[in-house]
């Protein structure tokens, strides 16, 4: 039981810096020897356009036409086992180009010749290949292309972000870091534990830094331990591929609450025992965002571990239109808060009071509540954050007495998109 409460406290504290306004509460009528003092604090994970980065790697190709006599070469042999989630979004001709690119790039070739029937085949294929294969970390997303329309091929010369002679050593360093995650997986662990451990390992070992080096590939995470959303999402895929769990890299945009502008973003689709669900590891990092003053308090935010399609939509995630094969993620079986006893169907006063008193009785430093509906959440917001001081004051008075304190600071936050209220002290 003690270990359970310790884990819940860590989870709750981590999540308290999730999206939503964070502010201290005060204004209680208490005995003279007992008083609360509120504390102002900015939410470390609040989405802000000012903190958004150019998060998703784009493919840039400079193209020209050539003649068969100037060294077009033969197209690579198509690989039979190179496909992935983004591969499935391509046309048949684009898939063939993708397979040929995979063959050449797997051999670390800087110049690759492929069949290319349409002008856009190469670019679509490269973009999908980068989505599906984070192990091609040495590619920087730019290439020059010479088309040979008379023979239906094109020659692509890729820009490397490190010297070719460094690739093997860099790969070894990356795999040494990934092995630390794999070593944490207990024997017989299921898909959920592998996903949760990857989410935790990635966040605990990476800081969100907008101008971090190599932030469009996994070098940023495994070598420098700083990245942006593209690096987090690609590293998540890399780890789960090694753990034998399906994971797809999804790129798109996020919309600011209140109808603000869109910013590019990347996250993951995973499958847990055949059940699809979403994970956003960069938004789970308390160092993400413009306001990270409180990031040292908590290691991990669990708000974005195993979300439904509807929850992702509510939180402003819009996948790129190319992803026509996305499943409907409707199961809440792996919702972190349901699994840890922090999920509530009702927001009435008796439920809230029981939860607050239970936290005090178990010496927990938090109350963490996710609600099943907007109505339940709204009711709870009104009761807890709308001036009903008696509901929260009595259990906190008891906590102060038990701790031998005459005053205490506490914090509250709420997420109008994920229907979460957090109180911690």
In this predicted model, which residue has the larger pLDDT, 141 or 119?
141
Top-ranked range on mean pLDDT: pick from 33-47, 112-126, 258-272, 318-332: 318-332
pLDDT of 48 = 28
pLDDT, tens digit, for every residue of 168-181? Answer: 999 999 999 999 99
pLDDT of 232 = 97
Give CATH for domain 51-55+166-338.
Answer: 3.10.620
Q: What is the mean predicted confidence (pLDDT) over 373-401? A: 87
Annotate 72-100 with DSSP letters as a single string.
Answer: --PPPPPPSS---TTGGGS-HHHHHHHHH
pLDDT of 31 = 33
Q: What is the mean predicted confidence (pLDDT) over 154-179? A: 95
* Alpha-carbon torsion angle 239, 244, 246, 247, nearest 10: 0
pLDDT, tens digit, for every residue of 208-226? Answer: 988 898 989 999 999 999 9
Q: Which two tokens stand for residue 250?
A: 């999804």
CA–CA separation, 185 and 331 (whole Å)? 24
pLDDT of 65 = 58
Residue 41 has pLDDT above 50, yes or no: no
Q: Which of 94, 165, 172, 174 is nearest to 129 (CA)?
A: 94
Q: Which two tokens stand for residue 219?
A: 């070098």
pLDDT of 80 = 72
Q: Which two tokens stand for residue 299?
A: 């290691």
Q: Is 343 helix (H, G, I), strand (E, B) or coil?
A: strand
Task: Say if residues 73 and 134 touch (Cβ distance below 8 Å).
Answer: no
Q: What value does the mean pLDDT of the chain take?
A: 81
Tell me what percent of the residues of the chain surpass a pLDDT of 90.
56
Residue 192 has pLDDT above 90, yes or no: yes
pLDDT, tens digit, for every residue of 10-38? Answer: 443 333 333 332 223 333 333 333 333 33
pLDDT of 151 = 82
CA–CA separation, 409 and 26 (whole Å)? 9
In this predicted model, which residue has the larger pLDDT, 155 or 75?
155
Q: Residue 104 — pLDDT band, cuts 50, 70, 90?
A: very high
pLDDT, tens digit, for every residue of 55-67? Answer: 445 555 554 555 5
Residue 1 has pLDDT above 50, yes or no: no
Phi-psi region of 72 (alpha: psi -120 to 50; beta: other; left: phi over 0): alpha
Q: Which two tokens stand for residue 303?
A: 């708000």
Residue ranges per structural domain of the chain: 2-48+340-424, 51-55+166-338, 60-161
CA–CA separation, 100 and 69 (whole Å)? 22
Top-ranked range on mean pLDDT: pick from 47-61, 277-291, 326-340: 326-340
pLDDT of 88 = 95
Q: Residue 250 — pLDDT band, cuts 50, 70, 90?
A: very high
pLDDT of 257 = 53
CA–CA separation, 44 and 291 (whole Å)? 5
């Amino acid at each position: 039981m003690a270990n359970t409460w310790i884990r819940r406290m860590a989870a709750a504290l981590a999540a308290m810096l999730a999206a939503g306004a964070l502010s201290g509460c005060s204004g209680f009528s208490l005995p003279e020897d007992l008083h609360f003092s509120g504390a102002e604090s900015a939410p470390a994970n609040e989405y802000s356009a000012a903190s958004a980065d150019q998060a998703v790697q784009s493919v840039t190709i400079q193209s020209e036409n050539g003649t068969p006599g100037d060294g077009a070469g033969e197209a690579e042999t198509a690989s039979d086992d190179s496909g992935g989630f983004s591969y499935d979004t391509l046309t048949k001709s684009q898939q063939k180009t993708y397979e040929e690119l995979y063959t050449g790039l797997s051999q670390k070739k800087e110049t690759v010749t492929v069949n290319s029937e349409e002008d856009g085949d190469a670019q679509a294929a490269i973009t999908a290949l980068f989505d599906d294969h984070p192990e091609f970390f040495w590619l920087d997303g730019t290439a020059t292309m010479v088309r040979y329309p008379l023979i239906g091929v094109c020659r692509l010369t890729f820009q490397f972000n490190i010297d070719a002679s460094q690739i093997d050593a860099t790969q070894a360093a990356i795999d040494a870091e990934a092995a630390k995650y794999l070593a944490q997986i207990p024997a017989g662990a299921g898909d959920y534990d592998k996903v949760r451990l990857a989410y935790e390992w990635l966040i605990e070992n990476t800081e969100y830094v907008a101008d971090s080096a190599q932030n469009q590939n996994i070098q940023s995470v495994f070598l420098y331990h700083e990245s942006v959303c593209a690096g987090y999402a690609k590293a998540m895929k890399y780890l789960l591929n090694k753990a034998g769990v399906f994971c797809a890299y999804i790129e798109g945009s996020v919309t600011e609450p209140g109808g603000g502008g869109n910013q590019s973003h990347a996250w993951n689709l995973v499958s847990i025992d055949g059940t699809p669900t979403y994970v956003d590891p960069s938004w789970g990092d308390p160092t993400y965002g413009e306001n990270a003053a409180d990031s040292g308090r908590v290691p991990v935010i669990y708000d974005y571990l195993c979300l439904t399609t509807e929850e992702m939509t509510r939180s402003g995630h819009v996948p790129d239109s190319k992803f026509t094969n996305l499943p409907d993620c409707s199961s809440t079986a792996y919702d972190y808060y349901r699994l840890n006893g922090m999920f509530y169907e009702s927001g009435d006063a008796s439920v809230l009071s029981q939860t607050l008193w239970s936290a005090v009785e178990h010496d927990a430093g938090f109350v963490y509540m996710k609600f099943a509906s907007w109505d339940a959440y709204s009711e709870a917001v009104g009761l807890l954050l709308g001036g009903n001081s008696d509901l929260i004051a009595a259990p906190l008075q008891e906590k102060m007495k038990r701790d031998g304190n005459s005053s205490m600071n506490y914090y509250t936050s709420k997420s109008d998109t994920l229907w979460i209220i957090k109180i911690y002290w």
